[in-house]
Amino acid sequence: MDDCNPLQLFHEWLITARDHPHVPECNAMRLTTISNDLEISNRVVLLKEYDWKGLTFFTNFNSNKALDLICNPNCSLEFNWPNISRRIIVKGLASQTESDISDNYFFRRPRESQLGALASNQSAIISSRKCLLDNLNKVTQMNANKEIKRPSHWGGITIRPKEFIFITSLKSKIQKSEIYKVDPNNVWSKIDEWCYT
């Protein structure tokens, strides 16, 4: 493995987590954002795609997390797999994915999920569960026997990484961190750090 190829190491760690019987949802990642009011928020989203362009999840662009990222694209992601004593932290800049990528992913989703994207105004306060279900039924009837097009308020957000931190918890409470940073010429460098936890 190229010693300064963090994406390759990320892929290998993700596959290890995926294949481990005691790691549920290996693609779950904690997204931390900063709002326009400098409020810090975090929530769990699911990694759906990744390459050198970045790590991508899909969401409603009217959600609080998407609005935070419009105001301040600096953010971090954390994958935490305690059952294999590993964590990955990714720091980077967020941007909306290209429309064709969002379209392709949306069309691969189950029809129920597509309808949910049309019916849901994410992060908005809904007066009752009945109101939400009524809206879903209305959308379902309106789109009966039709191909559902991706709504403009729904799509992918890609985090272009500036830094990867691969953390391994070892015996005797020793922790190893492999830190990769990219320079303005898009060249990655690596340092290792050791500490007691």
Binding residues: 43-48, 58-59, 65, 122-123
CB-based contacts of 80, cutoff 8 Å, min separation 6? 30, 87
CA gyration radius, the chain: 19
Per-residue DSSP letter, 83: G
d(CA 81, CA 28): 10
Cβ-based neighbour number of residue 158 at 10 Å: 21
Specify binding-site residues for FMN: 43-48, 58-59, 65, 122-123
d(CA 163, CA 10): 12
Q: Which of 4, 109, 6 is nearest to 51 (CA)?
A: 6
How many Å apart are CA 132 and CA 126, to the nearest integer?
A: 7
